[in-house]
Structure 1
Amino acid sequence: MDELKDIRWKQRFENFEKSFHLLEKYSGTSITNELERAGIIQFYETTFELAWKVLKDYLEVEGYVVKSPRETIKQAFQAEIIEDGHIWMDALSKRNLTVHTYDQELAEKLVLEIQQHFLPILRHLYDKLLKER
């Protein structure tokens, strides 16, 4: 059973890795129109979703039981897998907001937050789990 959990987090990590690299690649380019903003936000939503799920799977291998994204983030912070727990919680909140709303001003602010705050925490997670794989 533990071997299956170990395989699961590594497979999920591969999906996270692909999505993270796309987000990183396109976040570094000049974003000049609504379609590009929407694309960055969609990459972010997907990458964040995979990030919390890979954290959940990794925590389960380590013996923790978590069910929700919020629980997962809190436990990962306590286990020192992630840093900046408050930024992770903000990232979760913004991900939830983008799924249910679209507003151009919000989209412009979110793209900046993704580039300046959320991409670095996702990079940290990627680097840390890459060493564990």
Structure 2
Amino acid sequence: MDEMKDIRWKQRFDNFEKSFKLLEKYSKESISTELERAGIIQFFETTFELAWKVLKDYLEAEGYVAKSPRDSIKQAFQAEIIEEGHLWMDALSKRNLTTHTYDQELAEKLVIEIQEQFLPFLRKLYDRLSKER
């Protein structure tokens, strides 16, 4: 690995780690108010953004080229860095949707998806990259 690129993904990972831990912590709480749902969704948006960027930086340090979130996810799946590529793509779509619209019913469904589907694969990424840091 190029030393600068190696440092870059590790620095990005530090930010991902902080965001992930907050998302994980508060996702375990009972979420019943609009403010709590909005907070979880915001933590998810931030964590997911950092997740795909740390993937991109990690891939580049390994010699791959990825230019967008979609490219990064596809390349990471092909390189077997992540599993469940379809869930990552679904999370990307949901992240894009939440940044442009707000609907209470959508928010309630998304919180459940974050807790039950998205958080587990973010945990897998966290665990894998923690070992390599």
- Normalising TM by the smaller chain, what interval? over 0.9
What pairs with 1:23-38 in structure 2 (closer than 5 Å)? 23-38=23-38
What pairs with 1:44-55 in structure 2 (closer than 5 Å)? 44-55=44-55
1:119: which partner in 2? 119
Shift of 1:54: 0.1
**Which amino acid is 1:7 matched to?**
I
**Which amino acid is 1:21 matched to?**
K
Shift of 1:46: 0.1
1:19: which partner in 2? 19
**Which amino acid is 1:81 matched to?**
I
- The superposition leaves residues 43-81 of structure 1 with CA deviations (integer Å, 9 ceiling, x where unpaired) of 000000000000000000000011000000000000000
**Which amino acid is 1:91 matched to?**
A
Question: C-alpha separation between the residues in 2 aligned to 1:119 and 1:98?
Answer: 17
Shift of 1:93: 0.3
Shift of 1:2: 1.4
Shift of 1:32: 1.0
Q: Which moved more, 1:1-10 or 1:83-92?
A: 1-10
**Which amino acid is 2:97 matched to?**
L
Question: C-alpha separation between the residues in 2 aligned to 1:66 and 1:14?
Answer: 21
Q: Which segments of structure 1 move beyond 6 Å, counting only runs of 4 or more?
A: none
What pairs with 1:1-133 in structure 2 (closer than 5 Å)? 2-133=2-133
Question: C-alpha separation between the residues in 2 aligned to 1:32 and 1:70?
Answer: 32
**Which amino acid is 2:9 matched to?**
W
TM-score by length of 2: 0.99
Shift of 1:124: 0.3
Runs of 5+ consecutive residues of structure 1 not aligned to the other structure:
none
Question: C-alpha separation between the residues in 2 aligned to 1:65 and 1:130?
Answer: 22
Runs of 5+ consecutive residues of structure 2 not aligned to the other structure:
none
**Which amino acid is 2:17 matched to?**
E
User: SS of 1:100's equivalent?
Assistant: coil
